[in-house]
């Protein structure tokens, strides 16, 4: 029976397996094998012994159940793996884990897990960017009302909304690429970082192990790889989650009954409420928003893991067993939910047009102001004049256009057809289309 929702509800099996016990054990065994081969390469142990350790360092021989049995007796997880591997290696077992401390193995193994995970993360982010760019291209001419402070402001386009999101996702792709050189690293530095147990060959052994495993190497360390690296990665995941939160929040707001411009796709047999048969709730967008909070919270915990006592303590270990799998699995999950969400959005074009014109032209006051300035009126004078007319239109519920046409001061500068042109939303979207096209060209 599962306890945590990521076990059966909020996670893709292909990503979840990276953090399951058997996969993690295999990565630990991979590091132990690489260490044995490095010792053989520098002449510390016989090559035949390294060959035996390499062969047996596999979950075909070393079972999770056996490791757990040993751990239940000795209460040390890494030593349990060492013992389980040693007992399979015969005489070569005496060379297993030679000179290493636990975190030489587990931190390096974690880098191998991260490497596997980041492949999926980069795929997800690239897919998400493509989905957003597709929406941007398809809707670059779709004029809608812009909102600032949740109030109608001036026209914008749906294409520009999506282009902005796509650029944000591109920045996340850039961050992950930059972060890889700092997070995909291992160490063989011993109990406090001096490599004393490896004698004078410590630097070479570390170099050989990481080359073997095809990951980077720390320059210096103490007993653990410094946790600013891990915190950076979890903060990057939190940033990704908050972008998805932002997009999902916008969709939720646009799906409000009073707005109704965009909504989630709703399946034929989908149920919106256990009591209200009419409901069509934005459940996927809400799920993204909700789970983003967990990812963000995990990033905060990772910051606390940086300040370990002296050369290390264990306060990072227990939370990392929770926060790293959670943050990684949930980020992948909400990315894939968001991809499906964006792909299946439903647009109500009548509602978009209705909301655009809801104010009776008041949202075009800035357009009129700029037009007046172009005709020779001072900017401040034009602003105050239109502010006064707009307030009168709002307070007395008089048509904005009528008040504009009646105003003698405006009549000195603008003819009726010029006023009407300035009141058309499609005439006041600036370079929105060109900006979208630039984004499509530069990051598409």
Catalytic machinery residues: 149, 273
**What is the C-alpha to C-alpha distance for residues 135 and 53, in angstroms, rounded to an integer?**
53
**Whole-angstrom distance, CA of residue 100 vs CA of residue 199:** 12
- Which residues does 271 contact at the CB level (< 8 Å), separation at least 6? none
- For residues 312 and 319, what is the distance between their CA atoms, to the nearest angstrom? 15
Per the CB < 8 A criterion, the answer to whether 136 and 162 are in contact is yes
Q: Which two tokens stand for residue 297?
A: 């919270």
Q: Is the dihedral of CA 40, 46, 52, 56 positive or negative?
A: negative
CA atoms within 13 A on the CB side of 393: 22
User: Does residue 376 contact residue 413 with C-beta atoms inside 8 Å?
Assistant: yes
Residues 6 or more apart in contact with residue 39 via CB below 8 angstroms: 45, 50, 95, 98, 99, 205
For tokens 């909020």, the residue is: 10
Among 209, 218, 232, smallest CA distance to 39 is for 209
Short-list 319, 330, 335, 322, CA closest to 293: 330
Instruction: Round to whole Å and give the CA distance between 237 and 122.
Output: 12
Rounded CA separation 336/313 (Å) = 37
Which alpha helices (DSSP H) does 261-415 contain, by range? 283-304, 317-343, 349-356, 365-374, 379-396, 400-406, 408-411
Question: 148 - beta bridge partners?
Answer: 151
Q: Which residues contact 402 (CB under 8 A, 6 or more apart)?
A: none
Q: Which residues pair with 216 in a beta bridge?
A: 185
**Within its chain, how far is the Cα of 211 from the centroid?**
29
């Amino acid at each position: 029976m599962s306890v945590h929702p990521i076990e059966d509800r909020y996670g893709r099996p292909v990503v979840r397996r990276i953090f399951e016990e058997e996969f993690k054990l295999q990565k630990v065994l991979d590091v132990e094998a690489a260490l044995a081969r490095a010792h053989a390469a520098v002449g510390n142990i016989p090559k035949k012994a390294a060959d035996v350790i390499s062969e047996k360092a596999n979950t075909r021989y070393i079972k999770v159940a056996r490791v757990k049995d040993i751990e239940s007796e000795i209460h040390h997880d890494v030593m349990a793996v060492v013992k389980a591997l040693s007992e399979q290696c015969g005489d070569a077992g005496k060379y297993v884990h030679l000179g290493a401390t636990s975190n030489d193995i587990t931190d390096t193994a974690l880098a191998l897990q991260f490497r596997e995970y980041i492949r999926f993360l980069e795929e997800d982010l690239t897919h998400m960017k493509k989905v957003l760019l597709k929406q941007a291209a398809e809707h670059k001419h779709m004029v809608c009302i812009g909102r600032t402070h949740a109030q109608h402001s001036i026209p914008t386009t749906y294409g520009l909304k999506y282009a902005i999101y796509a650029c944000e996702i591109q920045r996340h792709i850039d961050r992950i690429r930059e972060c890889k050189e700092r997070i995909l690293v291992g160490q063989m530095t011993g109990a406090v970082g001096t490599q004393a147990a490896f004698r004078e060959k410590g630097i070479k052994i570390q170099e050989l192990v990481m080359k073997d495993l095809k990951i980077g190497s720390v320059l210096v360390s103490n007993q653990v790889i410094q946790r600013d690296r891990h915190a950076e990665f979890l903060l990057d995941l939190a940033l990704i989650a908050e972008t998805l939160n932002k997009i999902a929040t916008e969709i939720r707001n646009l799906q409000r009954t009073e707005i109704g411009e965009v909504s989630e796709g709703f399946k034929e047999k989908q149920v919106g409420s256990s009591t209200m048969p009419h409901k069509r709730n934005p459940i996927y967008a809400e799920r993204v928003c909700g789970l983003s909070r967990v990812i963000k919270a995990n990033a905060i915990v990772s910051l606390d893991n940086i300040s370990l006592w002296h050369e290390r303590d264990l306060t990072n270990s227990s939370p990392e067993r929770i926060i790293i799998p959670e943050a990684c699995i949930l980020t992948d999950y909400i990315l894939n939910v968001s991809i499906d969400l964006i792909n299946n959005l439903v647009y109500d074009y009548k509602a978009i047009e209705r909301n655009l014109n809801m104010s009776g032209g008041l949202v075009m006051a800035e357009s009129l102001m700029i037009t007046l300035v172009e005709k020779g009126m001072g900017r401040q004078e034009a602003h105050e004049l239109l502010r006064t007319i707009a307030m009168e239109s709002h307070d007395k519920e008089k048509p904005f256009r009528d008040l504009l046409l009646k105003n003698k001061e405006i009549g000195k500068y603008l003819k009726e057809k010029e006023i009407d042109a300035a009141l058309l939303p499609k005439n006041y979207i600036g370079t929105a289309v060109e900006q979208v096209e630039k984004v499509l060209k530069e990051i598409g």
